[in-house]
Amino acid sequence: MDPKALETEALGAIAAAKSLPELEEARIRFLGRKAELPQALREVRDRETGMALNELRERLEAAVAQRREAIERAELDRRLGEEAVDVTLPGEDLPLGHLHPITHIRRAVEDAFLGLGYEVRDDREVETVEYNFDKLAFAPTHSSRSPRDTFFLGGGRVLRTETSPSQIHMMEEREPPIYMVSIGRTYRRDAITATRYPIFHQFEGLAVDRGLTLADLKGTLLHVMRALYGEDRRVRFRTHFFPFTEPSIEPDVSCGICGGEGCRTCKHSGWIEMGGAGMVDPRVFENVGIDSEEWSGFAFGCGLERTAQLRHDIPDIRALWEGDLRVLRQF
């Protein structure tokens, strides 16, 4: 074996290795158990040759280690260059949703009443005939007791046709004074049109205290209508009938589109109907065991869709239920 020639050849092969597998191949070829140099080392007899060959082996091992480091560093440099993340690139656009207009209105209503010290109540949507009609003093012949108007579920249960049953639950659960607003879904068997939908939302207010009058009701509604529609609004009352209030009224709010001058939206009257209200009927107090000689109260109910339509000038109620993003994105 010619150590000089072997060294040249081995160093050449190690330097030529371009990857770790190639380097390993070279290492086995020159330093592996069956390679020429280790074989010679095993057979060597004299000290001098032994030392020389050992040194040769150490030089080759050092060359392999050095080459390995170089290859690894080059590989790391390559990856750092190629796989670099440019943190200054704009990120992927994650579309952000927003609240539905009905949820906006609901929160505006809640805010307006919380500001008056009312508590906000959520209630059941499946009611009984007793709570939806009887305890609210609906006459036995009232038309909304008909399955043509109301969804009956069997077993004396109905989908509530209004949020008014909340009044009964509240008065049964709590002693007056009571100031509450209940907001949620209500159901009626109406065909779907531009102004009606079989599911809709109402907010229902109830105040029970000593010495409440229609003036308190009017002031409360004025506050809420101004919170919802703007400070320049006026409120007026028209007489009406509801089974659970006496007297009953329908509040109108001045039209915001024409400022009360008269336009198509307000049917040229300058006023827009806002729902129902009145002083709690003594029969209702009787039904829940509250003494109507000591306590008085007022109540009111309004549709949220109607409120949203008026606030945003939405001509067709269906837009609020169809989930068409082209429409909803505008609010």
| Site of interaction with ligand DAH (CB under 6 A) | 162, 164, 204, 242, 245, 275-278, 299-301
Q: State the minimum distance, in angstroms, from the CB of residue 326 to ligand DAH.
A: 31
Query: What are the strands of the beta sheet with 126-128, ordered from one edge?
Result: 126-128, 157-159, 152-154
Q: Work out the angle at residue 144's Cα, subtended by the Cα atoms of residues 152 and 246, and round it to the nearest 5 degrees.
A: 130
The residue (of 277 and 304) whose beta carbon lies closer to ligand DAH is: 277
Q: State the minimum distance, in angstroms, from the CB of residue 120 to ligand DAH.
A: 16
The residue (of 27 and 281) whose beta carbon lies closer to ligand DAH is: 281
The residue (of 162 and 252) whose beta carbon lies closer to ligand DAH is: 162
For 185, the enclosing helix (H) or strand (E) is strand 178-187
- Which residue is closest to ligand DAH by CB? 276
Q: State the minimum distance, in angstroms, from the CB of residue 190 to ligand DAH.
A: 12
The residue (of 220 and 245) whose beta carbon lies closer to ligand DAH is: 245
Q: State the minimum distance, in angstroms, from the CB of residue 133 to ligand DAH.
A: 11
The residue (of 67 and 306) whose beta carbon lies closer to ligand DAH is: 306
Alpha-carbon torsion angle 237, 242, 246, 250, nearest 10: 0
Distance CA 68, CA 242 (A): 93
Q: State the minimum distance, in angstroms, from the CB of residue 199 to ligand DAH.
A: 14
The residue (of 17 and 224) whose beta carbon lies closer to ligand DAH is: 224
Distance CA 107, CA 280 (A): 26
- The region that residue 60 occupies, defined by phi over 0 for left and psi between -120 and 50 for alpha, beta otherwise, is alpha
Q: State the minimum distance, in angstroms, from the CB of residue 263 to ligand DAH.
A: 25
Q: State the minimum distance, in angstroms, from the CB of residue 91 to ligand DAH.
A: 49
Q: State the minimum distance, in angstroms, from the CB of residue 327 to ligand DAH.
A: 26
CB 293 within 8 A of CB 211: no
The residue (of 176 and 278) whose beta carbon lies closer to ligand DAH is: 278
Distance CA 116, CA 194 (A): 34
CB 158 within 8 A of CB 189: no
Distance CA 303, CA 287 (A): 26
Helices (H), the chain: 3-16, 20-31, 36-43, 47-82, 101-114, 129-132, 165-173, 214-229, 282-288, 304-312, 325-328
The residue (of 27 and 160) whose beta carbon lies closer to ligand DAH is: 160
Helix, coil or strand: residue 248: strand
Residue reference for tokens 């089974």: 243
